[in-house]
Amino acid sequence: MTITAQLVAQSASAPMRRLGALAELDAAAANALELAVASSVTDRARSELQIEGQPIISPLLVVEGWAARARILPDGRRQFISFLLPGDLIGMCYQEHPLAVATVVAITPVRTCRAPSAEVSPALRRAYAVSRALDEAYLLAEIVRLGRMTALERIGDVLLELLERLTLVGLVGNATFEMPLTQEMLSDVLGLTPVHVNRMLQQARREGWIEWRGKRVTIRNPVALASMVGRVPTRVQAP
């Protein structure tokens, strides 16, 4: 028995929507996810969900809210390595006695649940595998963004990534999405100063790339912006 795309789309669970978009889920996978989400807990903004070098007790699924993987330098400087959005997995490891390789900090209040075991069903195992491949793809994109892109290209590229990822869980309408990031947080992921980020955002507005009002961002022409910054849709498996 499979879960139809319509049922997945109607589900209130971001993990169900995202994992169902990555691989067709069966009844066992859907039931396990529903039970896990029902036992979810909420952590306050700025809480540490995992701490670098500490044991990972259980892999987690983000049900609601935004978090980030971060490395903190001895002098307090911070680098956001990647954002963790609704439906994403945190700390899914396959070695024995895993340790966290980065600190995971809540950007907003974050609701998480324990990720069901991949042994629940082959369908869930496939979805987890695709999710892990996407994590690697986004990490490689971040390396290229920091290493080779101009400041303005970095802004456009990271916003397109967020658009792509939030679309997967149904959190985008007319290229508009809620984004709770401050300019300081963007500076931490883009390797720029907050002042430089502010200048680049103003230029992106002047260029007609984006509208940013309050916590809502609209990308006016995603196809044109992707062409300008050289971004292609993230793909990790053949159709």
CATH code: domain of residue 218 = 1.10.10.10
- Rounded CA-CA distance 182/179 in Å is 9
> 26 lies in a domain?
no
Q: Which residues contact 225 (CB under 8 A, 6 or more apart)?
A: 156, 159, 160, 209, 219, 231
pLDDT at 47: 97
Structure tokens belonging to residue 181: 């990031």
Q: Which amino acid makes up residue 102?
A: A
Any idea what DSSP says for residue 23? S
- Rounded CA-CA distance 134/22 in Å is 10
> 51 lies in a domain?
no
> 162 lies in a domain?
yes
Residue pLDDT tens, the chain, 239 long: 344 444 444 445 899 999 999 999 999 999 999 999 999 999 999 999 999 999 999 999 999 999 999 999 999 899 999 999 999 999 999 899 999 999 999 999 999 999 999 999 999 999 999 999 999 999 999 999 999 999 999 999 999 999 999 999 999 999 999 999 999 999 999 999 999 999 999 999 999 999 999 999 999 999 999 999 999 999 999 88
Total structural domains within the chain: 1
**Are 115 and 58 within 8 A, CB to CB?**
yes
> 61 lies in a domain?
no
- Rounded CA-CA distance 178/214 in Å is 9
